[in-house]
A and B are shown apart, each in its own frame.
Chain A
Amino acid sequence: NAGVTQTPKFQVLKTGQSMTLQCAQDMNHNSMYWYRQDPGMGLRLIYYSASEGTTDKGEVPNGYNVSRLNKREFSLRLESAAPSQTSVYFCASSDLGVSQPQHFGDGTRLSIL
């Protein structure tokens, strides 16, 4: 009963490097989300995918790209990492859109030097 699985759990990058954060859910949910969480702040939406084959920008999309690979998987890519992208990244999924509980993974802690 894994729920939402994120990999890796920790990562350190140098400025300018690229990487992809992976997320998979086993709850057969239609919608998936990527958030970032910074100290003293709530979660801010980066991108979301309401259903397989669709993606849309959230509140803070700049510097990121996403891919909804299939119904289970939703990846987040940093093409050229910047120190301002140091954060904890959370993936979530939900059934039938936003007025349903979102279920979260345990996050990827990303540091960019």
Chain B
Amino acid sequence: GESVGLHLPTLSVQEGDNSIINCAYSNSASDYFIWYKQESGKGPQFIIDIRSNMDKRQGQRVTVLLNKTVKHLSLQIAATQPGDSAVYFCAENSQAGTALIFGKGTTLSVSS
């Protein structure tokens, strides 16, 4: 079946460090991947996406890496700030192409 998972449910870093959040996906046919940030009491907020014809995409302080060989997705956050503390979800488009399939999330805690 389809599933999107994350390697670690929690990640704790110091302010200013770089953070790496990992995600494994199971469907080799998926061609679109997306990262969301969810703060307490809020809805998921789009961070960055990547299509399968790319292996890297950069945004403001964030980079997404896609390794299709091992079906692995990662989100790198540079110079992590306390405001980055949140739950991060990866998602992929479903086999049927009907909707996104979400992983369970990684909670990032940033201490100053």
A residues at B contact (CB < 8 Å): 4, 33, 40-45, 48, 50, 56, 58, 90, 92, 97-99, 101-107
Contacts and interface: CB of A to CB of B under 8 A. Distances in A.
Contacts of A107: 42-43
B43 A42 contact: no
A98 B100 contact: yes
Interface in B88-112: 89, 91, 93-94, 97-100, 102-105
A99 B51 CA distance: 9
Contacts of B99: 33, 45, 48, 58, 98
A101 B4 contact: no
B46 A48 contact: no
B34 interface: yes
Interface in B6-54: 31-32, 34, 36, 41-46, 49, 51
Given A104-B45, A107-B43, A98 B102 contact: no
A4 B105 CA distance: 22
Given A33-B99, A42-B103, A42-B104, 20 more contacts: A4-B43, A41-B104, A42-B89, A42-B102, A42-B105, A43-B44, A43-B102, A44-B102, A50-B98, A58-B98, A90-B44, A98-B32, A98-B97, A98-B99, A99-B51, A99-B93, A101-B46, A102-B100, A103-B46, A107-B43
Contacts of A106: 41-43
Interface residues on B, range: 20 to 34
| Interface residues of A, dominant DSSP | loop
A101 B49 contact: yes
Contacts of A92: 43
Nearest to B102: A42
29 contacts: A4-B43, A41-B104, A42-B4, A42-B89, A42-B91, A42-B102, A42-B103, A42-B104, A42-B105, A43-B44, A44-B102, A45-B98, A45-B99, A45-B100, A48-B98, A50-B98, A90-B44, A97-B97, A98-B32, A98-B94, A98-B100, A99-B31, A102-B34, A102-B46, A103-B46, A104-B43, A105-B43, A106-B42, A107-B43
